[in-house]
């Protein structure tokens, strides 16, 4: 990892006070940026971290979001108020959710279930402060440094990764899985709109960038970027195999069993405390729900049924 004044700085957003769960990355420069800001409940923590990095209220130029899931974007509304010069960069499909977050917040509450209060919601952001980023969009950090927005759909239909052209590091959001410190990686496949086929294309795109460093939203830099990307591809392929094996009835229960066969969490994640964290956050449950929804989308809705509608079990 690059050292010195221009080095990227990992920010621990301390979800619910817990270290090592959700991170942001600070990009220093004349027009500094933060990539992902964590949940709304972390806004104060992130604002303090930026202050400690010497970022004054009028200094922050950019809040860059990999996607509009509340664990990555929830604090953006609060931070936009605290840093009035900052503009918020997001995929075009994310813009309306930042401007009018009500639907996103209620849909997220359904996904997070009893843990929704841990994340909080999202304060609306004025339209004129939101920058719609197409694939290849550049965010100007000043002094010749630029971030490149790379569309990486799959985890969500509004997911982008962020390449720091100066260091060659990629902030991958959730496109390259979750890896808690000291544990093995595992994909995050939550509802509502994961798409494994598109996701694999995104992994190839990121691989082709030959990143010097890969930062995950959960959590931080991985030790061997290229190796990590290869493992991520294999795990997504295993997820796809598991998902297809549940057809034609892709329930979350069947998905849980299929994943246990194709990609056992205990084997992949390894570290017991990381496994406990996956389960306590109910991200394993979200994985089953998301993959079941994707598998369901593989069934053609109007497929002719030679047995007729009377067949039991459908
Ligand atoms: Zn996430």
φ, ψ dihedrals at 140, nearest 5°:
-85, 115
CA of 66 to the centre of ligand 1 (A): 9
pLDDT over 80 at 254, yes or no: yes
CA of 74 to the centre of ligand 1 (A): 11
Spatial strand order in the sheet of 87-91: 9-12, 23-27, 33-35, 62-64, 87-91, 130-133
pLDDT digits (tens, 9 = 90+) for 83-110: 999 999 999 999 999 999 999 999 999 9
CA of 69 to the centre of ligand 1 (A): 7
pLDDT over 80 at 3, yes or no: no
High-pLDDT (> 70) share of the chain, % = 95
CA of 88 to the centre of ligand 1 (A): 18
* 83-92, 155-164, 176-185, 304-313: segment of lowest average pLDDT: 304-313
In eight-state DSSP terms, residue 146 is: E
CA of 175 to the centre of ligand 1 (A): 9
pLDDT of residue 313: 42
pLDDT digits (tens, 9 = 90+) for 199-251: 999 999 999 999 999 999 999 999 999 999 999 999 999 999 999 999 999 99
- The whole-number average pLDDT for the span 146-156 is 98
pLDDT digits (tens, 9 = 90+) for 57-88: 999 999 999 999 999 999 999 999 999 999 99
pLDDT class of 5 with cuts at 50, 70, 90 = confident
How far is the C-alpha of 25 from the C-alpha of 203, rounded, in Å? 20
Hey, CA dihedral for 46, 48, 51, 57, is it positive or negative?
positive
How far is the C-alpha of 266 from the C-alpha of 285, rounded, in Å? 15
pLDDT of residue 311: 40
CA of 218 to the centre of ligand 1 (A): 7
Residues with Cβ–ion distance below 5 A, ligand 1: 71, 174, 217
User: Domains, the chain, ranges and CATH?
Assistant: 9-225 (3.60.15.10)
In the block, tokens 């997220």 appear at 108
pLDDT over 70 at 149, yes or no: yes
CA of 28 to the centre of ligand 1 (A): 23
pLDDT digits (tens, 9 = 90+) for 260-300: 999 999 999 999 999 999 999 999 999 999 999 999 999 87
High-pLDDT (> 90) share of the chain, % = 92
CA of 209 to the centre of ligand 1 (A): 22
pLDDT of residue 305: 52
How far is the C-alpha of 283 from the C-alpha of 179, rounded, in Å? 13
Q: What is the chain's mean pLDDT, rounded? A: 94
Residue 303 CB partners (closer than 8 Å, separation 6+): none
The full length of the chain comes to: 314
Percentages helix, strand, coil for the chain (3-state, rounded to 5) are 40, 15, 40
CA of 188 to the centre of ligand 1 (A): 7
CA of 161 to the centre of ligand 1 (A): 13
CA of 67 to the centre of ligand 1 (A): 9
């Amino acid at each position: 990892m690059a050292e010195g004044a221009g080095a990227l700085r990992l920010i621990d957003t301390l979800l619910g006070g817990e270290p090592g769960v959700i991170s942001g990355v600070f990009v220093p420069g004349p027009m500094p940026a933060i990539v992902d800001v964590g949940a709304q409940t972390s806004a104060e923590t992130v604002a303090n971290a930026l202050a400690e990095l010497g970022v004054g209220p009028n200094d922050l130029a950019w809040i860059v979001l990999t996607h509009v899931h509340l664990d990555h974007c929830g604090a953006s509304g609060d931070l936009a108020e605290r840093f009035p010069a900052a503009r918020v960069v997001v995929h075009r499909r994310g813009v309306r959710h930042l401007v009018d977050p009500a639907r996103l917040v209620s849909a997220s509450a359904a996904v997070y279930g009893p843990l929704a209060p841990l994340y909080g919601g999202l304060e609306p952001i004025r339209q004129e402060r939101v920058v719609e980023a197409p694939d290849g969009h550049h965010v100007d950090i000043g002094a010749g440094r630029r971030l490149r927005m790379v569309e990486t759909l799959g985890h969500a239909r509004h997911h982008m990764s962020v390449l720091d052209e100066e260091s060659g590091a990629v902030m991958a959001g959730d496109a390259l899985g979750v890896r808690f410190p000291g544990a093995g990686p595992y994909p995050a496949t939550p509802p509502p709109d994961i798409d494994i086929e598109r996701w694999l294309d995104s992994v190839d795109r990121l691989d082709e960038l030959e990143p010097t460093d890969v930062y995950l939203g959960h959590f931080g830099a991985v030790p061997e970027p290229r190796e990590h990307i290869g493992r991520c591809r294999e795990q997504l392929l295993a997820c796809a195999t598991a998902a297809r094996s549940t057809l034609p009835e892709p329930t979350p229960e069947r998905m849980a069993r299929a994943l246990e066969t194709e990609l056992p969490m205990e084997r992949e994640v390894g570290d017991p405390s990381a496994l406990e964290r996956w389960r306590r956050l109910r991200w394993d449950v979200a994985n089953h729900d998301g993959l079941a929804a994707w598998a369901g989308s593989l069934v053609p809705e109007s497929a002719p049924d030679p047995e007729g509608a009377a067949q039991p079990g459908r």
